[in-house]
Amino acid sequence: MTAATETNKFNAGWRSGRGERFGGVDKGLSDWLGLLIQLCLCRFFAGLLVLLQSSSYVTRADHDSRPNFVLMMVDDLGIGDIGCYGNDTISTPNIDGLAADGVRLTQHLAAAPLCTPSRTAFMTGRYALRAGLGSTGRVQVILFLAGSGGLLPNETTFAKLLQKQGYTTGIVGKWHLGVNCESRNDHCHHPNNHGFDFFYGLPFTNFNDCKPGAGKGVLVDVQETLWQISVLLTLASLTLLAARASGLLRVSWTLVAFLAAMSLLSFAAWFVPFELLRTWNCIIMRNGEVVEQPLKLETLNMINNHVIYVVRHKDGPFLLFLSLAHVHTPLFVSEGFTGKSKHGLYGDNVEEVDWMVGKMMETIARLGLSEKTMMYFTSDHGGHIEEGPKGGWNGIYRGGKAMGGWEGGIRVPGIFRWPGRLNPGREVAEPTSLMDVFPTVVKLAGGALPEDRYNTSESIFKVHFFTPNFSPAGAVGCYHTGVCMCHRPFVTYHNPPLVFELSRDPSESRPLSPDTEPRLAEVLERVKRAVTEHRRTLAPVEKQLTWTKVLWKPWLQPCCGTFPFCSCEESNHTSAAAE
């Protein structure tokens, strides 16, 4: 039995197709390892492009033109929320039709279980760690639109490479990879600086603070602490002032003034960045201009703009990245989908997503572009199970959003459709990754791949060096904190790491042991060597998720109007052009 054949028995375990899946350990390795969730071994594997172009999946390989690309990504969608992946109560006929007409991936993996690092990896074809956007600290995503962290200007995205091949490139929807570095208008992290000719959407993300009455979503514990400090300092200064006025205590005016000043500062530190979050973070931009502040997501402007983009660039070649703000909380739908599903507002969200996918397919067909366009559908990571009925369902897979390497947080839908090129109704069981889209799109567009993607593996084991501590005990989720944290004291380290065989244990309930798998020691030794090799390839990069990078900076705040009185509203129309 060959080594490759033997390792195939760890099909859970064993994943072929990518070379950068790592985990973090407690001792001997730096903190960055904690975010990465796979271990790579062995030889180069050609990946998704080979799978899609093999004779099993392609009907005609002698195509005479480069395709257009429509890449559709949903936010926080669980793999169990879609009909073609097993859901029989939420209606998704258009997504199911996309799969029936194309190729469905059954082991499609996000590079991280959170928005910012997953989208970084998707855009660049390599782990977010290499772009400075991987973290195991308190902050793992961009928290403020007016922070200075984000996707560095020197990063290579697939959009930049397609621009060089003559493609018109656009993104409609969510970005969440930063905007500015040093001034309000430098736009160093902006989509227009990363290969996209056109941008319309959320430069940040949709989160609870964007919807009045939906609660708070950013650093809730910090907000509460600042508020409590402000209240205590105010009470202390008022008490001392009353004591001095009544003659009970001889208190200096300096002390009273100092406490009052500190009270005002702590109140400002709470009120300005946090209580005004809806104004600061929740905006819509068209290219570099703020056109709506705060945003109103119930309108149809997103769908209007992505349809207009395709119509205007129908002569191609074009790339459209439709990055939906659905189904991230707070949930929102347009009027026609309210109460439509059997699963409340979350089900309404999923069904509106399906309608938007159908609208995109209809537009492509109406323009006669179906056989000239590769369409792709996925989610950035698994569903947010701590949200209960407002969060997604990850099917049989354990865990979800923000839960490290548990399968429920990283296994996502993956559907490709290209009529006349891909055989309809096929399935790909081989493991694939969101990062595989980068080389697939670039090669099909006729571009050359960068030499620093480090895709050097064939056999891959997924191991858990640490796992989140679920709370309350017995739950599968971190309900006390809203999402699982990735640092002490919120995790348990495993030495040796946990290894599962997903082919027989897809819910990851029975870790392998020397008794159940005699070759486990050999596997872990190869894992150790793979980690060492991975560390050797890392180059220094400026970290983008430090506190100094992510905290709100007023001089970086995008604003329509005169700061701090930022306010503008865009009408629900179809005349706005995607130039």
Alpha helices in 39-192 (DSSP H): 48-53, 93-100, 115-124, 158-164
489 exposed, middle or buried (CB, 10 Å; 0-12, 13-18, 19+)? exposed
How confident is the model over 221-243, as a mean pLDDT?
A: 78
Could you tell me which of 271, 300, 290, 274 has the C-alpha nearest to residue 359? 300
How confident is the model over 286-308, as a mean pLDDT?
A: 86
Tell whether the model's pLDDT for residue 86 goes beyond 90. yes
The CA-based dihedral angle spanning residues 239, 244, 248, 251, taken in that order and rounded to the nearest 10 degrees:
90
Here the tokens at position 260 are 């009052």
Contact at 8 Å (CB) between 414 and 378?
A: yes
**Strand residues in 337-417 grouped as ranges (E):** 373-379, 411-417
Top pLDDT among 223 and 85 is at 85
How confident is the model over 3-10, as a mean pLDDT?
A: 29
Here the tokens at position 256 are 């009273």
How confident is the model over 451-466, as a mean pLDDT?
A: 67
Alpha carbons within 13 angstroms on the beta-carbon side of residue 62 total 0
How confident is the model over 555-578, as a mean pLDDT?
A: 74
How confident is the model over 343-358, as a mean pLDDT?
A: 95
> How far from 224 is each of 42, 232, 392, 415, CA to CA, in Å?
49, 12, 28, 43
pLDDT band with cut points at 50, 70 and 90 for residue 271: low
pLDDT band with cut points at 50, 70 and 90 for residue 305: confident
pLDDT at 461: 61
pLDDT at 33: 30
How confident is the model over 546-567, as a mean pLDDT?
A: 90
Residue that is written with structure tokens 């397609």 in the block: 162
- Residues 114, 62: Cα–Cα separation, whole Å: 39
Most confident residue range from 100-104, 275-279, 293-297, 299-303: 100-104
Tell whether the model's pLDDT for residue 243 goes beyond 90. no
pLDDT band with cut points at 50, 70 and 90 for residue 83: very high
- Residues 549, 557: Cα–Cα separation, whole Å: 14
Tell whether the model's pLDDT for residue 404 goes beyond 90. no
Residue that is written with structure tokens 């973290």 in the block: 135
pLDDT band with cut points at 50, 70 and 90 for residue 575: very low
> Which residue type occupies 252?
S
pLDDT at 225: 76
Tell whether the model's pLDDT for residue 386 goes beyond 80. yes
Here the tokens at position 167 are 């493609």
pLDDT (tens digit per residue) in 144-190: 899 999 999 999 999 999 999 999 999 999 999 999 999 999 999 99
Give the rounded percent of residues in the chain with a pLDDT score beyond 70.
Answer: 82
Give the rounded percent of residues in the chain with a pLDDT score beyond 90.
Answer: 53
Alpha carbons within 13 angstroms on the beta-carbon side of residue 394 total 31
Q: Is 441 helix (H, G, I), strand (E, B) or coil?
A: helix
How confident is the model over 8-36, as a mean pLDDT?
A: 32
pLDDT band with cut points at 50, 70 and 90 for residue 236: confident
> How far from 323 is each of 11, 91, 110, 205, 341, CA to CA, in Å?
31, 21, 15, 10, 23
Q: What is the CA radius of gyration of the chain?
A: 25
Q: Which residues pair with 377 in a beta bridge?
A: 72, 415
pLDDT at 103: 96
Strands 318-323 and 68-74: parallel
pLDDT at 211: 78
Provide the whole-model pTM.
0.85
Tell whether the model's pLDDT for residue 274 goes beyond 80. no
Contact at 8 Å (CB) between 57 and 475?
A: no
pLDDT at 224: 74
Alpha carbons within 13 angstroms on the beta-carbon side of residue 46 total 7
Q: Report the mean per-residue pLDDT for the chain.
A: 83
Tell whether the model's pLDDT for residue 101 goes beyond 70. yes
DSSP tally for the chain: helices H, then strands E = 14, 17
Contact at 8 Å (CB) between 188 and 556?
A: no
pLDDT (tens digit per residue) in 201-222: 999 999 877 877 656 655 666 7
pLDDT at 231: 82
Here the tokens at position 434 are 């969101």
Alpha helices in 47-138 (DSSP H): 48-53, 93-100, 115-124
How confident is the model over 337-354, as a mean pLDDT?
A: 94
pLDDT at 270: 64
CATH of 10-207+316-363+377-548, one of 3.40.720.10, 3.40.50.970, 3.30.70.20, 3.40.50.300: 3.40.720.10
Top pLDDT among 407 and 336 is at 407
Cite the active site residues: 115, 176
Residues 6+ apart with CB under 8 A from 30: 535
How confident is the model over 565-572, as a mean pLDDT?
A: 81
Give the H or E element holding residue 255.
Answer: helix 253-270
Tell whether the model's pLDDT for residue 454 goes beyond 90. no
pLDDT band with cut points at 50, 70 and 90 for residue 200: very high
Tell whether the model's pLDDT for residue 456 goes beyond 80. no
pLDDT (tens digit per residue) in 23-70: 333 332 223 232 233 333 222 234 566 566 654 555 554 445 799 999
Residue that is written with structure tokens 């889209």 in the block: 437
pLDDT at 410: 95
Here the tokens at position 102 are 């194309």
How confident is the model over 110-115, as a mean pLDDT?
A: 94
Here the tokens at position 512 are 């392998």
Give exposure, 71-105, as e/b (b: 16+ Cβ within 10 Å). Answer: bbbbbbbbbbbbbbbebeebbbebbbbbbebbbbb
Name the residue ranges covered by the structural domains of the chain.
Answer: 10-207+316-363+377-548, 220-275
Q: What is the DSSP string of 447-471?
A: PPPPS-S----SEEE-EEEEEE--B
pLDDT at 265: 75
pLDDT at 190: 98
Q: What is the DSSP string of 207-246?
A: -GGGSTTS---S-HHHHHHHHHHHHHHHHHHHHHHHHHHH
pLDDT band with cut points at 50, 70 and 90 for residue 199: very high
Could you tell me which of 342, 261, 356, 355 has the C-alpha nearest to residue 306? 356
- Residues 127, 504: Cα–Cα separation, whole Å: 28
Alpha helices in 367-499 (DSSP H): 407-410, 437-444
Tell whether the model's pLDDT for residue 352 goes beyond 50. yes
